[in-house]
Amino acid sequence: MKERMRRILCCMGTAGVMTVMMAVPAMAADVTEDDQNIEVVQEAEQTVDEADVQDESEVQEETEVQEEAQAEDAQDSSWSDKVAANVLTYANIREGADVSSQCIGRLPSGAVATVVGNDEGWLQVTSGEVNGYIREDLVVSGDEARNLYEVMYGAGDISAEAVTVDAEAEAAAAEAAAQASQVSAEAVQPEQGQAAEETEADSSQAAAQEVSVSTSDLDLMAAIIECEAGGESYEGKVGVGAVIMNRIRSGEFPNTLSEVIYQSGQFEPTWTGKLSNVLSRGASEACYAAAQDVFAGANTIGDRLFFHAGGGSGLTIGNQTFY
By C-alpha distance, which of 107, 102, 142, 109 is closest to 125?
107
227, pLDDT greater than 80 = yes
Q: Taking the domains of the chain in order of start, what are their residue ranges?
A: 25-76, 82-164, 167-189+198-322
189 and 156 in contact (C-beta within 8 Å)? no
Euclidean distance between CA atoms 229 and 274, whole angstroms: 13
- Greater model confidence, 24 or 143: 143
Q: What is the DSSP string of 14-59?
A: HHHHHHHHHHHHHHHHHHHHHHHHHHHHHHHHHHHHHHHHHHHHHH
Share of the chain above pLDDT 90, in %: 30
pTM: 0.39
Q: Which residues pair with 130 in a beta bridge?
A: 127
Give the tens place of pLDDT for each residue, 16-32.
545 545 555 555 455 45
Return the sign of the alpha-carbon dihedral for residues 85, 86, 87, 91: negative
Give the tens place of pLDDT for each residue, 177-187.
445 445 444 54
Phi, psi of 110 (to 5 degrees): 85, -15
Euclidean distance between CA atoms 259 and 254, whole angstroms: 6
272, pLDDT greater than 80 = yes
131 and 96 in contact (C-beta within 8 Å)? no
Please state which CATH number belongs to domain 82-164.
2.30.30.40
Instruction: Look at residue 128 in the predicted model and tell me its pLDDT.
Output: 86
Return the sign of the alpha-carbon dihedral for residues 293, 263, 322, 88: positive
Please state which CATH number belongs to domain 167-189+198-322.
1.10.10.2520
pLDDT-derived band at 106, boundaries 50, 70, 90: confident
